[in-house]
Amino acid sequence: MTAPTAVAYSGHPGAYAEQAAARFLPHQPTQAVAGFAAVVDAVRDGTAAWGVLPCENRYAGSVPDAIRAVLAGGLPIVADLWLPVPHALLAQPGVGLASLTEATSHPQALKQCDAFLARHQLTPIPALTTATAARAVALAGPRHRAAIAPPAAAAHYGLDIVADHITTDPDNATRFWLVGRVGSAPWAGSPRTVTVAVHADRFDARAAPPGRVLLEKGSGGLWVVDVPPDARATLAALTQQGRGPVHPLGCYPRLEYP
């Protein structure tokens, strides 16, 4: 039986996650699936070798559903990268901005473009992913609805770019994780980050610098925290604050691109 080589991502072709997959592993095929849990499932059941999921955005913060999918799936994080996310507003051919009343996209993308939406009085409509939104606008409309999606998705789905670079933060970027099975890390780079989970009634990052909270499930819940790979004091402080041992989710390099 041939070993899987695909990189799974959530959504449809043209998604930012597909772009991230191509940056992580430019010579591997990509595989679109429906949802973050499906990305993890594809790796676990052997239909994909790796999976790509967004974990946080510089403006809008963490992506809780994706982080929880990684937690539930039990796959190690093997690398991460930051991808520029210059959202565009895409509409059916011939439809101008003045004719639009709605914008559909992933909730994170809608939040990242909140100032533009408010300025043009566009009602936000949540979608599974940015590319899913673009595909839906192209196939079904209605014509007064646009999609917030990657500029490259316009040509892919036959849409017009009505407005470009519409993010509230002009340097908008999203961090993506690459997950795989144990021993599947495709590089031997030096670890830059350790991500751990800890059960705690509360978490005080000031008591364990330089820990940084990615996910907070509330009082008595599970916390997901990034720490440097040599931050033994931080891990010890996390253990003291928590109820039970710290659970590592990955110790991994960050890919850098010129």
Confidence of residue 166 (pLDDT cuts 50, 70, 90): very high
Q: Are 78 and 178 in contact (CB under 8 A)?
A: yes
Q: What phi and psi values does residue 249 have, to the nearest 5 degrees?
A: -100, -15
Number of Cβ atoms within 10 Å of the Cβ of 111: 16
The mean pLDDT of 3-30, rounded to a whole number, is: 91
- ω before 248 within 30° of 0 (cis)? no
Mean pLDDT to the nearest integer, 104-128 = 96
Amino acid in the structure at residue 138: A
pLDDT digits (tens, 9 = 90+) for 184-242: 677 667 778 889 888 877 666 565 555 678 887 766 678 888 888 877 767 777 777 66
Share of the chain above pLDDT 90, in %: 63
Global model pTM greater than 0.75: yes
pLDDT beyond 90 at 40: yes
- Tokens 């009085």, located at residue: 121
Contact by Cβ (8 Å): 163, 99: no
Contact present, 126 and 110 (Cβ < 8 Å): yes
When mean pLDDT is compared across 50-54, 131-135, 228-232, the lowest value belongs to 228-232
- The Cβ of residue 177 has, within 10 Å, a number of other Cβ atoms equal to 28
pLDDT at 227: 84
What is the band of 258 on the pLDDT scale with cuts at 50, 70, 90?
Answer: very low
CATH ID of 88-164, from 3.40.710.10, 3.40.190.10, 2.40.50.320, 3.40.640.10: 3.40.190.10
Nearest to 256 by CA among 6, 21, 24: 24
